[in-house]
């Protein structure tokens, strides 16, 4: 089922989704899930893979917080809350799919999350930018990890 063309597309997708994830703060699942569904993977497999990718995104954020010595508690809490929310989401959707026998609820949940994210992320980013600018802080976001 996996042809050379699909494998090449997945390698290119992996590269660009990594870039987009780090630049935009999106989890890999938000980027990969629609592609997996488009490649005719079972929705449960696609969403399980998305949860796995979200776990790595949360873990990498926590590690970055720990390395930069800033917001360690916030990073730890973000990771814990992300794991709990992912667990609740997986169990809820699995219960709905088991009760109804239909996988398309997963696609509706994914579409809803992407739609909400598409509206919330830009507003939050602009708000953070304005607040930092008003406080006289560095709005470019660049800082050295080598010095304190």
Stated pTM of the model: 0.48
Task: Specify the residue for token string 């992300």.
Answer: 82
Among the ranges 21-30, 37-46, 52-61, 130-139, which has the highest mean pLDDT value? Answer: 130-139
Instruction: Give the integer Cα–Cα distance in Å for 90 and 96.
Output: 10
Residue 51 confidence class, pLDDT cut points 50, 70, 90: confident
Residue 86 near residue 77, CB atoms below 8 Å: no
User: In terms of pLDDT, which residue wins out, 103 or 124?
Assistant: 124
Identify the burial level of 78 via C-beta atoms within 10 angstroms of its C-beta, where 0-12 means exposed, 13-18 middle and 19 or more buried.
middle
The count of C-alpha atoms lying within 13 angstroms of the C-alpha of 55, restricted to the half-sphere facing its C-beta, is 12
């Amino acid at each position: 089922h996996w042809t050379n063309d699909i494998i090449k597309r997945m390698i290119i997708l992996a590269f660009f989704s990594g870039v987009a994830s780090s630049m935009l703060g999106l989890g890999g699942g938000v980027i990969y899930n629609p592609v997996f569904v488009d490649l005719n993977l079972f929705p449960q497999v696609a969403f399980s893979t998305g949860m796995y990718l979200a776990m790595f995104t949360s873990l990498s954020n926590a590690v970055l917080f720990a390395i930069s010595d800033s917001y360690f508690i916030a990073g730890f809490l973000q990771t814990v809350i992300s794991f709990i929310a992912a667990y609740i989401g997986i169990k809820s959707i699995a219960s709905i799919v088991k009760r109804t026998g239909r996988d398309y609820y997963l696609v509706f949940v994914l579409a809803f999350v992407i739609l909400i994210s598409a509206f919330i992320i830009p507003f939050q980013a602009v708000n953070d930018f304005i607040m930092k600018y008003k406080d006289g802080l560095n709005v470019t976001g660049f800082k050295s990890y080598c010095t304190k």
